[in-house]
Amino acid sequence: MRVFVTGARGFVGRHLVPRLLDEGFEVTATDRDLDVSDRAAVDARLKQVKPEAIVHLAAQSSVAASTEDPERTHRINYGGALSVLEGALRCGSRPRVLLIGSADQYGSAGPGSPPFREDSPLAPASEYARSKTEAERLGTSFLDAGLEVVRIRAFSHSGPGQSDAFALSSFARQTAEIEAGRREPVLRVGNLDSVRDYLDVDDVVEAYLRLLDPDVAADIYNVASGVGTRLGELLDALLDLADQRPSIERDPERFRPADCSIGDASRLRAATGWKPAVPIERTLERLLDDWRRKIKES
C-alpha cells in the first residue's frame, strides 16, 4: 500500500514512518517541504503520487502557540485539512485519509465524570482545539463525496523526540539537565493536579496502523488508554528514575486551572482489537534517556 504522510518529520511522524516501512508500506514522507496550506501544491503532489492512503499529521500542534497566533493555526490546521481532503478527492486514487484530531476537542471534564466517548459533546476551548474540530467536521462532509475519512481524536501521548512544549517532555528535559549539572536542582511545573490520559507514542502509531486497514469502518475514533493520571503522579514516577531529587516550583507562566481529560477507546478496540501495550513507566524511561542523550551530545 502506498501511504502519503504529511508532518512526517514531527514527533509522531518520526515514529510512524519507520514503522510503516518495517511493515512493508511504500511511504511518501512530506513535511515543511510541502506546505499543507498551499492547496495547489498539495493537489499537484497528490496527483503525482496517487497514494492509497494519507496520514495527515502536519499541524500547528501547540495550544499555547494557537493562542498567540490563531490565524496561522487556523490556516495550517483547518486549511491544511481542506487541501489534503480536496487533493485526495481529485488525485484519482481515492485514498483513505486519516485526519488526526485531538482530545482537546472535548474540552475538560468535571471531577468524577466518565471518560469521553465519541458521542460526548465537543467543547473546544482553544484555537488549536477549534481548528481540529472544524477540520474533523470538514472530514465528515467529504464522506458524502465517497472519500473514506477516518477521524481520530488522539489523547495525550509522549515518547522520545517530543518537544518540551509538552508537560512530560518538559519535566524529562529539566530532570536530565539537572542530572548533568546544567540547571539548578529546581524543576518548574504547571498545574500538577490536571488529570490526563497518557499513551506511549508507539501505541498511538499502532492505532494509526490498524486504522489504515481498508476493512475498518471510516468512523470517528478516540485513541486513549481509558485511564486518567494526575500529572503530579507522573512527575513522581519520572523522578523515581532520576539520580537526584530536585525541588518542585510552580511556574506562573505554565500554570493553568486543573483540567481532566480521559478517553474511552472501546470503539477503536471493537473495530481493530487495539489496546495500549506500553506501560507509562517505560514511556518515561525512554523519554528521560532521550533527553539525557541529547544533552550529552549538545
Q: Is 94 in the site for ligand A2R (CB under 6 A)?
A: no
Q: Which stretch binds ligand A2R (CB under 6 A): 3-11, 20-28, 83-91, 219-227?
A: 3-11
Q: What are phi and psi of 285, to 5 degrees?
A: -65, -45
Closest distance of CB 219 from ligand A2R, Å: 18
Nearest to 209 by CA among 34, 9, 55, 63: 55
Q: Do the bridges between strand 26-29 and strand 53-56 make them parallel or antiparallel, or are there none, so unpaired?
A: unpaired
Rg (CA), the chain: 19
Site residue total, ligand A2R (CB under 6 A): 23
Closer CB to ligand A2R, 65 or 216, in the complex = 65
Q: Is 154 in the site for ligand A2R (CB under 6 A)?
A: yes
Q: Is 66 in the site for ligand A2R (CB under 6 A)?
A: no
Binding ligand A2R (rule: CB under 6 A), the pick from 32, 47, 50, 282 is: 32
Q: Do the bridges between strand 247-250 and strand 199-200 make them parallel or antiparallel, or are there none, so unpaired?
A: unpaired
Question: What is the dihedral sign for C-alpha 100, 156, 286, 58?
Answer: positive
Q: Do the bridges between strand 229-230 and strand 157-158 make them parallel or antiparallel, or are there none, so unpaired?
A: unpaired
Q: Which stretch binds ligand A2R (CB under 6 A): 1-9, 108-116, 143-151, 173-181?
A: 1-9
- Pick left, alpha or beta for residue 147 (phi over 0 → left; psi -120 to 50 → alpha; otherwise beta): beta
Q: Do the bridges between strand 157-158 and strand 199-200 make them parallel or antiparallel, or are there none, so unpaired?
A: parallel
Q: Is 209 in the site for ligand A2R (CB under 6 A)?
A: no
Closest distance of CB 31 from ligand A2R, Å: 5
Q: Is 11 in the site for ligand A2R (CB under 6 A)?
A: yes
Q: Which stretch binds ligand A2R (CB under 6 A): 5-13, 106-114, 140-148, 282-290?
A: 5-13
Is the CB of residue 194 less than 8 Å from the CB of residue 231?
Answer: yes
Q: Is 105 in the site for ligand A2R (CB under 6 A)?
A: no
Q: In Å, how far are 10, 47, 71 from 57, measured between CA atoms?
A: 8, 19, 19
Closer CB to ligand A2R, 31 or 219, in the complex = 31
Binding ligand A2R (rule: CB under 6 A), the pick from 2, 9, 39, 94 is: 9
Q: In Å, how far are 103, 104, 254, 294 from 63, measured between CA atoms?
A: 12, 9, 12, 25
Q: Is 12 in the site for ligand A2R (CB under 6 A)?
A: yes
Binding ligand A2R (rule: CB under 6 A), the pick from 46, 49, 76, 189 is: 76
Total residue count of the chain as it appears in this document? 298
Q: Is 127 in the site for ligand A2R (CB under 6 A)?
A: no
Closer CB to ligand A2R, 75 or 117, in the complex = 75
- Pick left, alpha or beta for residue 278 (phi over 0 → left; psi -120 to 50 → alpha; otherwise beta): beta
Cell of 135: 477540520
Q: Which stretch binds ligand A2R (CB under 6 A): 54-62, 116-124, 175-183, 246-254?
A: 54-62
Q: What are phi and psi of 119, to 5 degrees?
A: -95, 5
Closest distance of CB 132 from ligand A2R, Å: 7
Residues at the interface with ligand A2R (CB under 6 A): 6-7, 9-13, 31-32, 34-37, 57-61, 76, 80, 100, 102, 154
